[in-house]
Structure 1
Amino acid sequence: MTQELIIDIATAKRSAETAEIMRRYNDVFQSHDPSALDELVADGCVIENTTPAPDGARRTGKAACVELWSAIATAPGTHFDLEETYVAGDRATIRWRFWMSDGNSLRGVNLMRVVDGRIVEAMGYVKG
């Protein structure tokens, strides 16, 4: 087996694992059930949130990340439309539209990174 083929197989396997983590992560927001977050988020996870503008707030550590995502997932009257999830190796890009309880919406993207089956980084950006 050539070195190039071995790398491609390893990348494909990592991409499949990342895709499954992203599917489960997205399900949290689609079902409004954050119970899976504890096993999806790494202890050293870092989030760069979309608010407050212009640079967002930084959350560090599993507890802070799970708390933020749980609040978003369970916010009354809100929902996400998933537009696309693209995975390459240990990285994923999620394009979404977030509908607020007042009927207004935001479009945005999350840049995610997964290591050892857990989310270690999430950077969120919204269309201004």
Structure 2
Amino acid sequence: MQTPDSATAVTEFDSARDAYLESMARVPAEGFAYLKPGDDYSLGGLAVHVNFVLEHYTNVLAALLAGGFAECRPEDPAGLEERALARAREALQAEEVQTELARTRELHQGVAQMVDRLSADLTRSAPVWFPGATETYPTSVKDVLGWLTDHYLEHVPHIEALVADWRRGGSSDPVAVVTEFGEAFGRGDVDAVMALMTDDCVFEDTDPPPDGERHVGQVAVRAFWERFFGETESPRFDTEEIYGLGDHVVCRWRFSWGHPGSEGHVRGVDLFRVRDGKVAEKLSYVKG
């Protein structure tokens, strides 16, 4: 029987699954075969990867239950990870991806049912030997559920970035990347904007003068965009000119806000640096 804490955790787990499945549902069927150079799994193979993680942590929960929260060493079936890694790189067809997503729903439900059985021990920790570890790691049911929830959510912007990369033909051309970034910015789509920025991204705002404010990392930059779009009335962004020089891109723009009769605007320039197909730096300057 669920406790209030376990019910909340499972609700968040379910919501994260739904967000992941919705992102996969928006992938064009012909895009599933795309494998970005250097990646470990194709766009469709990401579903295989997610299922492996779900199955692996199902085995962790089973070990906690079987051992009565004593020290334990969860084991996956022989070859599970190796098979998943190999299949995740394949150019899967849409039908194969749908089969994997159906499996996702089954595995997810299995985790939720196991959490329900263990709800009274939600925060009880056990010393767990994870593969390759040199010491045990204290692990609770709540920890596992949180890791799985976060894993779903981290792949939502990842999927969007891979789709954008596939649409560009796999190109990491800096001007193409910044153009895609500008289109997402013009829509006020914070998830798409952040999917096109590196984990260690840097954004320098134009305010306060004379130096502006520097925001570093995904969390800080996302917080700024969410606040900016949330507080700006009818924002509109138009690119006036864009050109590149190596991994740097210069973009002249006009930013407008408000409704006719009460609108305002500023014109300015952004200096971008692109790394591995994503924006690593965005330094903004305005006139006046």
**With structure 1 as the length reference, what TM-score do the two structures score?**
0.78
Higher relative contact order, chain-length normalized (CA < 8 Å, sep 6+): 1
Amino acid at match of 1:114: V
Change in 2 beyond 3 A, CA 1:59/1:95: same
* Separation (CA, whole Å) in 1 of partners of 2:228 and 2:251: 16
Deviation at 1:35, TM superposition (A): 2.3
Number of residue pairs aligned between Structure 1 and Structure 2: 114
Are the equivalent residues in 1 in contact too, given 2:185–2:193 (CA < 8 A)? no
Cα deviation code 1:27-50 (max 9, x no counterpart): 112222222123211111111110
Q: Which runs of 5+ in 1 are unaligned?
A: 1-14
Amino acid at match of 2:202: V
Change in 2 beyond 3 A, CA 1:24/1:70: farther
Residue in structure 1 matched with residue 156 of structure 2 by the alignment:
none
Q: Does 1:95 align with 2:244?
A: no
Amino acid at match of 1:96: W
* Separation (CA, whole Å) in 1 of partners of 2:246 and 2:223: 27
Change in 2 beyond 3 A, CA 1:39/1:16: closer
Q: Does 1:44 align with 2:200?
A: yes
Q: What do you get for the CA RMSD once the two structures are aligned?
A: 1.9
* Separation (CA, whole Å) in 2 of partners of 1:70 and 1:84: 26
Amino acid at match of 1:37: V
Deviation at 1:24, TM superposition (A): 1.2
Change in 2 beyond 3 A, CA 1:22/1:111: same
Change in 2 beyond 3 A, CA 1:47/1:38: closer
* Separation (CA, whole Å) in 1 of partners of 2:255 and 2:220: 21
* Separation (CA, whole Å) in 1 of partners of 2:235 and 2:215: 22
**Which structure dedicates a bigger proportion of its chain to helix?**
2
Deviation at 1:70, TM superposition (A): 4.0
* Separation (CA, whole Å) in 1 of partners of 2:178 and 2:223: 18
Cα deviation code 1:80-124 (max 9, x no counterpart): 121011112211011011112241111100000011111111110
Structure having the higher Rg: 2
Are the equivalent residues in 1 in contact too, given 2:178–2:249 (CA < 8 A)? yes
**Which structure dedicates a bigger proportion of its chain to strand?**
1
Q: Counterparts in 2 of 1:1-128, with a 5 A limit?
A: 17-73=173-229, 75-101=232-258, 102-128=262-288
SS of the residue aligned with 1:63? Answer: helix
Q: State the percentage of identical aligned residues.
A: 37
Deviation at 1:71, TM superposition (A): 3.9
* Separation (CA, whole Å) in 2 of partners of 1:29 and 1:40: 10
Change in 2 beyond 3 A, CA 1:20/1:126: same
* Separation (CA, whole Å) in 2 of partners of 1:48 and 1:90: 18
* Separation (CA, whole Å) in 2 of partners of 1:30 and 1:37: 10
Are the equivalent residues in 2 in contact too, given 1:29–1:73 (CA < 8 A)? no
* Separation (CA, whole Å) in 2 of partners of 1:42 and 1:16: 13
